[in-house]
Structure 1
């Protein structure tokens, strides 16, 4: 193994750790705050949900500026600062005593999440790899799934044992203590585009109009909308059939399948068509959604969780791989940041819309059927290369 490859794989593992904390605090954390703050202060669920949606929307805007921040400050400084803001956000959320305090909390957490999101992981890993990029991206993004496995029970245990405020402080300190030094020590040498390459980069408004970009952006925004909406309501869907404790284990099953599915894709994709792989992934999740919609036995519902879960991780790791193949080196980072931002701005509304459909229809059948239809539409759209329609 060459020194360059050794350095690249070391960065992959650093990105894995960043993903563990980034998702554990910035993605799974808001769901914890929703329940805990409602229970502690009896604030309306809708009010807290609006703050969480604002957290995702603001971070979506910030993600579009990540390439500029990396060019000015470097990957190392931006990542370390992101860990600090994520920590301050966690403390602010968990110490909020009045509703207005959710505003500064979400602003802090949005900055942290934007600097530790999928676009950030791609910026750390992608410059080191060409042929092995699917494997490297898959390994780094597996940290997101591990973050869900570790932080969901960790948050619950800490809140139950020490209280919400202490739990937020401990998680915040751990985030800074682990991510900060790793970013400062190992991400300082992450290569960025040189001046000549940067001058050849296309402006954002040009990229936004390209049919290839539109197809990727729309397809994955739809797919993630369906995925996040179903994921947020999965326990509520399964609880009548299995009870609360077993239904909660379904989240772990889905997350484990996400790690397996992303790892398999990374090892098997090679030079195969990445858009067709994405379409197959959307269709597999659509089948899983249909089984969860109509399933009336443990076997069918478990099969739905497995098929849905196998595709979960690939929806965040496939866009960078498609962008690598279809856009110039100077534009890949910007394309990934824009796609990530669009995805996040769309899926921020998914839990509320799924919940509204559930309340309106008295069950999850319609919501999950619509989700499956959206995933089929995403599969069709992502294969569009030269024109959108």
Structure 2
């Protein structure tokens, strides 16, 4: 029986589910995996911590270079092919980490894994979701990006268990093959489908909506002009500062929490931060009304994190209630730091520019936050033993600077989702 086009379930829901799964593997392998891989390499080779840490940094920095070109790769080869090729590169790179016997081999593996993971990262998730959602993009992106947090919850302990039980090589091969198989299935059955191909419109509407106010073709920026554009520069710098503070603090938070809470308590506290990140994304995605100034929402989210950082500072590492409340507030903004920038780009840039803006923003911020763990480590080394207060103060100060950047980029007229088209084709 042939189902009329208008009666088919909205395929975009399947796209969100597929993007969620892609994010689980992308972050589970490419973001949360490298610290675990580093430890496994150190135990097997006895290479210096500094060298293997540099390999992890190389993984993220090279990924930043690749993600800047992701829109061009998608345009030339298509999202399905790029995703499958990226998953294969990520699996091959992780296997390289596991089998490396010489220092140059682990550096080569880092280049390959770094190039692969960004094809399943933040810019890739946005590229998959964007054709299917316009007005409902906030909750669609929030749901898909929560796969990133779930990837840390599921795959981090799975990596640790599999490496301890079977060895790094076997774990890398088996989990890598599983990832590639799943990505091939999703690419063929979901990512290859477009709204136009099945006669559907974004958000499942019976008729297409008008464009975003910024979808005027005349508003499109030529490549070089993005670097002179106040909206892009404040978005990129604000995102980079916010993620730098987050990545630096998260990298050291567990070791700080171990002293007052113990190993198990610190693990539970980090799990609490992850749960708050998931909840924060969902709350903002569901409750943010159309037409909301998304930069202002981002400022509020970072403001909550600043409050969390200051509570961690005030806890002096011993006041448990303040410590946990600080973890809750800081954790609640972790997810929105990733999901809000693409939503800001959606309202402030022409449709032709959005994917490029998102990719460049991810590239700049990833290159920045790749250096954060080392920078915060140097800061801790310069402090007296057990005195971590300045680290929380620095994180709060950087997040305040991020708020300033987002605020400076605000326009006097808030962009809104367009209403039905006027005869000229522009939103009323």
TM-score (ref. length: structure 1): 0.95
Which residue of the other structure, out of 233, 240, 250, is the alignment partner of 1:231? Answer: 250
Quote the Cα distance in structure 1 between the aligned partners of 2:7 and 2:95.
40
1:289 aligns with 2:309: yes
Quote the Cα distance in structure 1 between the aligned partners of 2:395 and 2:410.
26
Match of 2:327 in 1: 305
Paired residue secondary structure (1:175): helix
Match of 1:176 in 2: 180
Which residue of the other structure, out of 355, 358, 363, is the alignment partner of 2:377? Answer: 355
Match of 2:210 in 1: none
Quote the Cα distance in structure 2 between the aligned partners of 1:166 and 1:198.
51
| Structure with higher helix content | 1
The answer to whether the 8 Å contact 2:220/2:349 transfers is no
Q: Tell which deviates more after alignment, 311-320 or 180-189.
A: 180-189
1:137 aligns with 2:159: no
Match of 1:277 in 2: 297
Quote the Cα distance in structure 1 between the aligned partners of 2:49 and 2:334.
26
Cα 1:235–1:2 shift into 2, 3 Å? farther
Q: Tell which deviates more after alignment, 22-31 or 95-104.
A: 95-104
How much does 1:191 deviate?
6.4
Which residue of the other structure, out of 18, 23, 47, is the alignment partner of 1:43? Answer: 47
How much does 1:75 deviate?
0.7
Which residue of the other structure, out of 251, 273, 290, is the alignment partner of 1:254? Answer: 273
Deviations 1:258-290 (A, max 9, x none): 110000010011222101100011111111112
Match of 1:88 in 2: 92
Alignment RMSD = 2.0
Structure 1, unmatched stretches of 5+, are none
Paired residue secondary structure (1:127): coil
Corresponding residue pairs, total: 384
The answer to whether the 8 Å contact 2:295/2:410 transfers is no
Deviations 1:277-321 (A, max 9, x none): 000111111111122233122211111111111100001100110
Quote the Cα distance in structure 2 between the aligned partners of 1:126 and 1:303.
35
Paired residue secondary structure (2:245): helix
1:222 aligns with 2:241: yes
Cα 1:367–1:78 shift into 2, 3 Å? same
Deviations 1:76-111 (A, max 9, x none): 111111111111111111222222111210111011
Paired residue secondary structure (1:243): helix
How much does 1:364 deviate?
2.1
Deviations 1:34-87 (A, max 9, x none): 222122222211111111111111111111111111111111111111111111
Deviations 1:312-364 (A, max 9, x none): 00011001100000111000000000100000010000000111110111332
1:167 aligns with 2:189: no
Cα 1:99–1:8 shift into 2, 3 Å? same
The answer to whether the 8 Å contact 1:67/1:334 transfers is yes
Match of 2:153 in 1: 149
TM-score (ref. length: structure 2): 0.86
Divergent runs of 4+, >3 A: 1-5, 197-201
Match of 1:98 in 2: 102
Cα 1:170–1:138 shift into 2, 3 Å? same
How much does 1:159 deviate?
1.3
Match of 1:317 in 2: 339
1:369 aligns with 2:393: yes
How much does 1:241 deviate?
0.7
Q: Which has the larger radius of gyration?
A: 2
